[in-house]
Amino acid sequence: MIKIQNKLTLGLVSGLLGELVIMSINRLFVKLGLVQSSLRLMSLQVVKCRRWIPLTSKKDIWLSIGISTFFCINGGLMITYLLSFNKRLCLLKGFVLGTVGGIIPYVFKQAKLIKDFKKPISKIMCLVSHGFFGLTVALVVKTFGNKDNNCQTKR
């Protein structure tokens, strides 16, 4: 089994895998009709509020992917470093920290950058998908992290 010694590398890997999970879960929620807009469309709503960014269709796609990747990598790094301090209940803490990270879209809505979240079910699904992001990051940290430094219970 591969063990990653560097916390920065572990945070980057876990953030990217967490982004894959959160995008997949969001796509599933959109297909099931539980959420109106995908995360890509919400990122575009944030970008389009800024008048100083000239947008074309090609830049729209890459800019929204860049925004979501930025937030997911930062979330992965933050959760990785927070989980490295305490070695108990790693997966539960990852889920809770990811769910707390689900507050970020609410901040964007309060700043009137996102026009979604009209239904309570979409708010709940946002928190659930962010919780699974945190769970994925914690699982990556527990699986690939160094046993001495990350998320392993003492025996």
| In the chain, domain spans | 12-144
Q: Can you give the three-state secondary structure of 62-114, one letter per residue? A: HHHHHHHHHHHHHHHHHHHHHHCCCCCCHHHHHHHHHHHHCCHHHHHHHCCCC
Is the pLDDT confidence value at 154 over 50? no
pLDDT tens, 46-63?
Answer: 666 655 555 565 556 677
CB proximity list for 75: less than 8 A, separation 6 or greater: 15, 18, 98, 101, 133, 134, 137
Written as one letter, the residue type at 95 is F
Q: Whole-number mean pLDDT of the chain?
A: 76
Can you give the pTM of this predicted structure? 0.75
